[in-house]
Structure 1
Amino acid sequence: MNMFSVSVSPISVGSNVFFALALFAISALVLLLLRRFLTLRATPAYLIVPIFLALALPASVVLLVPIDLASSSHDGTGPKAIWLPDRVVLVCWRIAYWLIFMLTWAILPLLGEYVDSGYREPKARIIYSLRMNARYQLIVLTCAVVGLVYVSISNGFHFSSLKGLVMALAYVWGLVLAIYLMGHGLVSIPRNLIRNANVSGRLRRVQAHAPKVHDRLMDAVNELESLNGQVAQLQQRKTGTARDFQEWIEDLSEGSGSADVRVPILEAPESSSTIPSVITERYLADLTRRLQRSRHMKARFVDEWDRLVQLAADLQAIINSAASKKLDFGPAPRRSSCFPRTKMLTPYMRYQVYSNVIPSVRMAFGAFFSVASVCIVWSELIKSVAPQLSIVSLTILPNYKEPKPLGFGKQLITSAWLLYMCSAALVGVNDVKVWGNRALVRRNTYGESACWYASLVARLTVPIAYNFLTFLPKDFRRETTFYEFLGRLINLTPLGHGFDFIFPIFILLPICATLFNLYGRIKKIFGFGLAEEDDIHDVENNPSGYGMGGWREGRDLIERELNGFGSLAVSSRGTRSTWAADRDDESDSRGSSRLRVPAAEGSRSPRTTQRPITAPTVIDGEEEEEENFFQSFAHRVRNTFETTNTPQWFQGEPFRLPRWMSGDNNTTTEEGGVTRLFGGRAVPGRLHL
C-alpha cells in the first residue's frame, strides 16, 4: 500500500500543480480581456465579479473535459496525462455547472437590468430589475411546469427527476442556440481568413461598410444631442416639480461633458419630444436610461469608425507599396491601428511581411480551419448512424472498439477541438445581428451589454462540451464524470435520449444560410438582416461601386476623414494623412491624370440631408485597369449628361400631349394615355404588349 501511494503520488501532485497553474493562467487571461472592454477602476465590484466568473468558469470547462476523459480511463499503467481523482473532478463539475447556471438564469439578467434601470436609489433599481425580468422568468417557469408534468408521467415525481428537468431544460435551450451560432461560425471563420488574404478585396469591403457605419454614427451623435437638449431644458426650470429633482438633473448635465467637436458640423437636430409639465421620477429614470444608452452607442460607433478608417488607410498603404517595395504606415499611428508597428523591420521587410507572408498565412489557416469545420459537421451528421466513422473521435481514439487511456497529446487535441467549436459559436455571436444594440466597445462597454455577453458565453459552453462528448464511443463517454453528472439526467426520458443525437443535424440550416447568403435574401424580403454578410455581397453584386452606399461613397468618406475635411475630423491633428500623400506620389510617378471633384464641406445628416453624388471622384490607373474601353466610354457619356444643366429655354412649362392621346385634360408625357391602346395602364415607362 505504501509502495502504491509512493508511485502514484508524484503523478497526482504534478497533475494538481498543472491544473492550478492552468486555472491561474485562465484567470489572468480573463482579467486582461475584461481590462480591454471595461474600465476596471470605474466598474463596481458587484459587476466585475459576476462577469469574471461567467467568463472564467466556461474557460475552465475547456480544460476540465480532457482532464475528465483522462481521469475516467486512467489505470496507472497507461500513457502520461493530466488526471485528477474522481471525487475532485465531480466537485469541479458541480461548482462550475451550478455557478454557471445561477449566473446565466438569475444573477446576470438581474444585474443587467439593474445597471440599465436609470434610477438613482438601489431599491428603485432592484424593483425595476425584478419587474423587467418577471416576464422572462414567467416564461421559464411555464416551460418548467410543462416539463415537470411530462417527467412526472414518464418517470415519477422525485428529487432526481426535478433536478434532471432543470438541467435538461437549460441544456436544450443552450444547445439550440449553440448549434445555430456554431454553424454560422464554422463557415465564417475560414471564409473570412481566405477573403482577408486578398488586400484589395478586403479594402473594397471596408469601403462598402463605411457608409453604414458613418450613418449610424451620425444617428448616434444626433440622438445624444437631442437628449442633451432635453437635459438643458430641464436645467432651466427652477420652479415646480423640477425643483425636487434638481440634484438629479445636475448630475445628468454634468455627465454630458464638454461639447463634441462633431456636433457643430451637423445640422442641429429638432427635438420632437417636449418636456412634460410635471417631472416625475419615472420620467427622469427613462431619460437617464436613454441618455446612458445613447452615450455608449456614440462611443461604440466612434470606436468602430476610427478603427475602420485606420484599417482602410493601412490597407491602402500596403497596396501603394507595391511600386516602391517599401512599406511605412506613418510616424504617428493612432490607437485604433489594426496593424502593429514593429520597429525591428525595415520598410522592405515590412512590405514582404504584409504583402506576401501574412496573406499566405491567412490562406493556410483558412484552408486548415475549413478542413476542421468539415470534420466537425461530418461528425455531427454521422454520429447517430455510424459513430465509428466520426473524424473527431478518430483523432482522439484511433481504436474505436478498444479505446485506450488518453495521453497528454490526445488531451491537447481534445482541447483544440473543443476550443474551436466554442470559438465558432462566439464568432456567430459577433456576426449575427439579432441582439439589439448590444456591442463590445474597447474600454467603454455598457454594463448591461457586458452582462448579456458574459451570460451568453457561459450559457453556450456546457452544451457544446456535452455535444462534443457525443462524438466519442458510447462506452468510453459513459465512464466520464461529466456524463454521470449531466448526461444521465438528460437521458432520463425517451425524448431527451434522442434529442442530443438527432437535433445537431440541424446545424446544416445555419451553414447553408451562411454559404448561400440567405441572410441577405431575408433582408431584401422583410427589410432586416441577420448577419454581417451584406457588405460582402454588395461588393460582389455591385463591383462598380456606383449608387447610394457603394464602396466609392465609402472611399470618399474615408478619404475626406483622413484629409481632415470629414464630418468627424479624425485626422485633424495632422495636415495631411499618409494615405493621401501616398496616392499623390503614386499617381505622379505613373503620370496618370487625376480628375478631382472638390469634397463638400460639412456632412450629410442621414435623415435631413441626402448623400453626396457618388460619381468617381478620382480617376487613376487603378480604376482604368478595372474597366474596358466600352465601359469607360459609357461612364464618361453618362457623367456628361448627368452633369449638364438644363438650358434656360427648356425650363418652362412641360410639353403636353393632345387630349385624344392622353385621355386626360391635365396629363403630361409621363402619364401618356396612348398606352391604353395596347391594353396597358397609365404606368410611367411601362407598356403591356
Structure 2
Amino acid sequence: MELSTSMSPSPVGSEIFALVVLLAISAVALLILRYYLPLRTTPAFLLVPVFFALWLPASMVLLVPIDLASSAVAEDIDARGIWLEPRALRVSWRITYWLTFSLTWFILPILAEYSDSGYREPKDKVLDSLRSNAQYYAIVFGSGFVGLVYVLISYGHFSESLKSTVMALAYCWGLVLAIYLMGHGLVAIPRRLIRGANVSGRLRAIQSNAPKIYERMEDAEMNLEDLEMIVSELSRRKGGSVSLFQDWVEELVDLTNLPEAQPSRASVLRGSGDAPSVLPTVITEKYMAELTRRLVRAKHARSRYVSEWHRLLRDAVKTQAILDSAASKKLDFGSASPHSGFWEKHTYLTPYTRYVLHYHVVPYFRNTLGAVLALASACIVWSEMVKGVLPSFSIIRYSVVHHWEGDNGQVGLAGQAIAALWMLYMCAAALTSITEVKVWRGRALVRRNTAHESAFWYASQVARLSVPLSYNFMTFLGGIYRNTVFYDFLGQLINLTPLGKWFDYLFPAFILLPICATLFGLYGKVKRIFGFGVDVIDDGDGDDPYSAYGTGSWREGRDLIERELHGTSAVVRGRRAEAAARISGTGVGQGAGAARATPVLSVPRAQRTGPTSPLGTSPNTRPQANTSARRVGAASRGIETDPDDENFFEALGHRFKNTIDTMDTPKWLQDIGQGIKKPKWMGGDDDEGSGSRPRDNNNGNNNSDVRRWFGGSGEGRVRL
C-alpha cells in the first residue's frame, strides 16, 4: 500500500534555537543589571521593569532576522535559516512592541519619578510622581491630539486612525533621537579605538581629563557636605514643627552617616550670630521631601565622580606601566585591587607575554577594529542616503540578502547573522552616545551603585530607541521588508499618510548633521564661540583630545594624578573648613548652588612615605602613573626637561633663569648692610661700637631671629 502524503515543514528546530537564544539574552541582561545594581538589595519594582526594558529590545535583534527569513518566498525552505510561522511572529511582535511602548511612555517615567521622590509614604510618592509627569504627559497628549486631527483629515477614516497616529508619532519621535545619537556614535566609536591605539596619546588624554573630573568630584563632595550640615542642624532642633517629623529627621541622619568627630561644622552654624538662618522657621512636609531628594541625589553624584576618579587613576597607572615597559620588555601591573574583576585577579601571562600583548598586539587590534568599524559606519550612512532614491545601491542590502530570485531575495542563516551584527552595531552606536551626553540631573551609570532614577531613565532610552532602529534597518533592504510581518504590523501604519511616508524616507538623511558635527569638531567650536565653559577633552567632537581649556591642561592633570597616587593631594585638607565658612557666610538654605571658590589644583608637592594609596595598594608595588615628581624636582634645580613640550620663548626663558640661578652672589653685595646698626628691640648688639652680630655659618640664620619677639629661643621654639 502506497501512501502519498505531503508533509509541511515544521519549525521545531528554529523554535528551540530561538528559545535558547532568548535564554542567553536573559542571562546577558541579568549580568548587565548585576554590573550596575546590587541585585540583593535592589527592590523588585526596579529590577523587573528595567530587566524587560533591556530584554525586549535585545529580543528585537533576534526577531528581525527571523522575520526576514520567514517572510521571503522561496522554493527551498531549508535555505531560510531560522524561521517561524507568521502567526507566531505576529504574536511576538505585538507582545514586544506594546510592552516596549508601555514601558517607554508610562511605566518607566512614573517609576523614575517615584524613586526620585523624597516623600516617605508610597501614596505620597505616587502623587508626587504624577505631578512631576503632568507636564510631560500634557505635551505627549497634545501632540497626539494634533496628529489625530491631521490623520483624520488626511486619511478620512476612523477605524485605524487612533492606533496609527499613536504608533506613528512614537516612531517619529524615537527616530529623531535615534538618528542623532547613532550619527554621533558612528564616528565616536571608531575614532576612540584608533586614538586609543597610541599608548602615549591615551595617557595624555587621561591626564587631560584628570583636572575636570577631580574638580567635579570636589564640587560633589562639598555639595554633599552642605546638605549634611543642614541635616545636622535640623537634628539639633527640638520642639516646634520639627517634632512632627522626628522619625524622618532620624532617617536623614542615618542616611548621612555623620561622624561624631566633626562637631565643628555644626558649631560654626550655631556660633555665627550674624549668619542667616540655614533652616526655615517652619518645617513642612514639602521641605523635608525636597531635602531628602537633594540629599539622595548628592550622595549618588559623589559616588559617581569618586568612581570616575578611581577608574581614571587605574587607567593612568596601567597606561603608564605599559609605556614604561618598552625599556625592560616586561610588564607587571602589580597586585590587583579587591574591587577588580575576575580577569584582573586571575592572570596566567608572564611579564614578557603581557608586554607583547598590551604593547604590540592590542594597539594593532584596536587599529584594525577601528578601521573595520569605520568602514561599517560608512556603509550605514551610504545606505541611509540611497534607500529612498536608489535602494538597489544599498550595501547592507547585498550583505544580508544572498539568494536572489528575480526581484525577490532569500535570507539564509549567514544573512541572518550579518543582519544581527548590523543591528547590534547601530544600537551600540546610539546607546554609547547616550552615556556620553551630559543630561539633566547628572544621570550616570555607576558600577554597583547606580541611582534608581538613573537606571529607570537609561532603561527608558534603550526601550525608546529599539523600535525605530529595528524598522530603520529593515528599510535598508529595499522592497523585501514589505513582505515581513513587522511591516504589516507597524510599517503600513507609518506609511498611512504622505507625511509619515516622506518622513521615514527623507529624515534619516539628516544623519549627516551629527556626523559632520562630530567629525569636524563643531561642538567644540560652538562652545568656544559662545563661551559655554570650554573643556575640549576628547569628548568625541573631533577637537584635539590632548588640550584642555578652563579646567587645566594635561600637565596639571599629570601632577594631580602623581600627587593623588602618593597620597599627597593637599586640596582635601581645607575642604571641610571651606564648606563650613561658606555656609556661615551665605546660608545653604538659599540653595546648594551658592557661590564657592574654585578648587585649587596646582598645589606644591609634599613628600610622604605612607604605605597606602587611594587605590588600595602600596605605591611601591605598582608602576607610577607619571614622572612628574622627577620633572618638578629637576625644574627646581634648573635642569631643562621635556624640551619637546616647550616652545622657543619658554626654552629661552628657562635658559635665562638657569643662568641667573647658578650665578654666585658678589662679595660687595653680601657686605651691604653689615655696617648698619639695628635697635635693641630688634635684637641689636648692646655695644655701640659693634655693627651686627656675627652670622651663623652653619645654618645661615642671624641670631636675632624673629621668633625671639614672641618669647622664643634661638633653637626655634616659640612660647605661646
TM-score of the superposition, structure 1-length normalised?
0.83
Please name the residue that 2:35 is paired with: 36
Cα distance between partner residues in 2 of 1:263 and 1:365: 56
User: What is the identity, as a one-letter code, of the residue corresponding to 2:254?
Assistant: E
RMSD: 3.4
Pairing 1:487-506 to 2, within 5 Å after superposition:
487-506=491-510
- Who is 2:667 aligned against? none
Q: Which residue of 1 aligns with 2:9?
A: 8
Aligned partners of 1:209 and 1:535 also within 8 Å: no
* Aligned counterpart, 1:27: 26
Show the 5 A alignment for 1:332-371.
332-333=336-337, 335=339, 340=344, 343-371=347-375
Cα separation, partners in 2 of 1:94 and 1:574, compared to 1, 3 Å: closer
Counterpart Cα distance in 2 of 1:83 and 1:263: 70
SS at the partner of 2:160? helix
The answer to whether the 8 A contact 1:187-1:511 is kept is yes
Matched, 1:150 2:150: yes
Separation in 2 of the partners of 1:517 and 1:337? 35
**Change in 2 beyond 3 A, CA 1:38/1:557:** same
Hey, what does 1:444 align to over in structure 2? Answer: 449
Equivalent position amino acid for 1:414 in 2:
A
Amino acid in structure 2 at the alignment position of 1:514: T
8 A contact 1:320–1:582 mirrored in 2: no
1:527 shift after superposition: 3.8
Q: Residue deviations 1:222-253, cap 9 Å, x none?
A: 11111011111111111111111000000010
Could you say which residue in structure 1 is the equivalent of 2:642?
623
Is there any run of 5+ residues in structure 2 with no aligned partner, and where? 573-611, 662-720
Query: Counterparts of 1:100 and 1:327 in 2: how far apart (Å)?
Result: 48
**How does 1:214-293 map onto structure 2 within 5 Å?**
214-257=214-257, 259=259, 274-293=278-297
CA distance in structure 1 between the partners assigned to 2:228 and 2:555 by the alignment: 34
- The answer to whether structure 1 residue 522 and structure 2 residue 517 are counterparts is no
Moved more, 79-88 or 189-198: 79-88
1:428 alignment partner in structure 2: 433
* Residue 411 (1) aligns with residue 430 (2): no
In the TM superposition, residue 60 of structure 1 has moved relative to its aligned partner by: 0.3
- Structure 1 residues 420 and 580: CA distance shift in structure 2, 3 A: closer
Q: Does 1:550 align with 2:587?
A: no
Find 2:319's aligned residue among 311, 315, 324.
Answer: 315
For 1:583 and 1:428, the matched residues in 2 are separated by 31
Which residue in the other structure is 1:576 paired with?
619
CA distance 1:166–1:535, shift in 2 (3 Å): closer
8 A contact 1:114–1:129 mirrored in 2: yes
3-state SS, counterpart of residue 173 of structure 2? helix
Aligned equivalent of 1:181:
181
Tell whether 2:659 aligns with 1:596: no
* Match runs of 1:125-164 below 5 Å: 125-164=125-164
Q: Deviations over 1:122-148 (max 9, x none)?
A: 111111000010000000111111111
- Quote how far apart the aligned CAs of 1:189 are: 0.6
- Equivalent-residue separation in structure 1 for 2:637 and 2:35 (angstroms): 39
Contact 1:571 1:577 in 2 (8 A): no
**1:158 and 1:537 mapped to 2: Cα distance?**
47
CA drift at 1:507: 0.2
**C-alpha contact (below 8 Å) 1:433/1:530 kept by paired residues:** no
For 2:198, the aligned partner's letter is: N
Q: Counterpart amino acid of 2:614?
A: S
CA pair 547-188 structure 1, distance change in 2 beyond 3 A: closer
Q: Which residue in the other structure is 1:650 paired with?
A: none
1:431 maps to a residue whose letter is E
| Cα shift at 1:402 | 2.8
- The answer to whether the 8 Å contact 1:214/1:305 transfers is yes
1:333–1:289 CA distance, 2 compared to 1 (3 A)? same
- One-letter amino acid of the structure 2 residue matched with residue 71 of structure 1: S
Cα offset for 1:594? Answer: 4.9
Counterparts of 2:350 and 2:502, CA distance in 1: 60
Query: Aligned equivalents of 1:620 and 1:432: distance in 2?
Result: 44
TM-score (norm 2): 0.79
Give the distance between the partners of 2:23 and 2:16, measured in 1 at CA: 11
Distance 2:341 2:651 in 1: 36
The reply on whether 1:376 has 2:419 as its aligned counterpart is: no
- SS of 2:477's partner is coil
In the aligned structure 1, how far is the partner of 2:119 from the partner of 2:309?
Answer: 31
1:190 paired to 2:194:
no
Counterpart in 2 of 1:81? 81
Partner residue of 2:401? 397
Q: Does 1:18 find its partner at 2:17?
A: yes
Residue 98 of structure 1 aligns to a residue whose secondary structure is helix
Task: Name the SS for the 1:58 alignment partner.
Answer: helix
Residue of 445, 464, 467 corresponding to 1:462: 467
CA deviation vs aligned residue, 1:357-393 (integer Å, no higher than 9, x gap): 0000000000000000000001111111211111111
Change (3 A) 1:397 1:281: same
**Distance change in 2, residues 1:468/1:631 (3 Å):** same
Change (3 A) 1:446 1:285: same
Q: Residue 379 of structure 1: SS of its match in structure 2?
A: helix
Q: Deviations over 1:560-589 (max 9, x none)?
A: 1111112578537555255565867x99xx
How many angstroms apart in 2 are the aligned matches of 1:393 and 1:530? 42
Q: Is the deviation greater in 101-110 or in 268-277? A: 268-277
Q: Give the equivalent residue in structure 1 for 2:686.
A: none
C-alpha offsets along residues 491-511 of structure 1, whole Å, 9 cap, x if unaligned?
111111111110000000000
**CA distance in structure 2 between the partners assigned to 1:258 and 1:37 by the alignment:** 26
Equivalent residue of 2:283, what SS? coil
Alignment partner of 1:404: what SS? strand
Alpha-carbon distance in 1 for matches of 2:152, 2:253? 58
Q: Distance in 1 between the 2:542 and 2:105 partners?
A: 39
| 1:49 lines up with 2:48 in the alignment | yes
Cα distance in 2 between the residues matched to 1:419 and 1:49: 23
Identity %: 52
Whole-Å separation in 1 of the counterparts to 2:26 and 2:64:
18
The reply on whether 1:632 has 2:637 as its aligned counterpart is no
The CA deviation at 1:16 is 0.5
Q: Map of 1:524-539 to 2, 5 A cutoff?
A: 524-528=528-532
- Equivalent-residue separation in structure 2 for 1:28 and 1:57 (angstroms): 13
Where 2:449 maps in the other structure, the secondary structure is: coil
User: C-alpha distance in 2, partners of 1:140/1:408?
Assistant: 41
Q: How many residues align?
A: 614
The 8 Å contact of residues 51 and 450 in structure 1, kept in 2 or not, is answered as: yes
Pairwise CA distance, 1:333:
3.2
**Partner amino acid, structure 2, of 1:596:** G
Cα distance in 2, alignment partners of residues 478 and 434 from structure 1: 37
- Residues 97, 638 of structure 1: CA spacing in aligned structure 2 closer, same or farther, 3 A cutoff? farther
- CA shift, 1:76, in A, is 5.9
Counterparts in 2 of 1:414 and 1:262: CA distance versus 1, 3 Å: farther
> CA–CA distance in 2 between the matches of 1:52 and 1:218?
34
Unaligned runs of 5+ in 1: 588-592, 598-615, 643-689
Q: Is contact 1:113-1:128 (8 Å) kept?
A: yes
Whether the aligned pair in 1 keeps the contact of 2:562 and 2:625 (CA below 8 Å) is: no
- The alpha-carbon deviation at position 73 of structure 1 amounts to 1.2
Instruction: Spell out, residue by residue over 1:207-226, the C-alpha distance to the aligned partner (whole angstroms, 9 max, x if none).
Output: 11010100110011111111
Match of 1:62 in 2: 61
Q: How does 1:82-97 map to 2 (within 5 A)?
A: 82-97=82-97
Q: Using the alignment, how far apart are the partners of 1:628 and 1:30 within structure 2?
A: 52
Q: 1:530 to 1:457 in 2, by over 3 A?
A: farther
AA of the residue aligned to 1:38 = L
Is the 1:204–1:539 contact (alpha carbons within 8 Å) kept by the matching residues of 2? no
Q: Does 1:513 align with 2:517?
A: yes
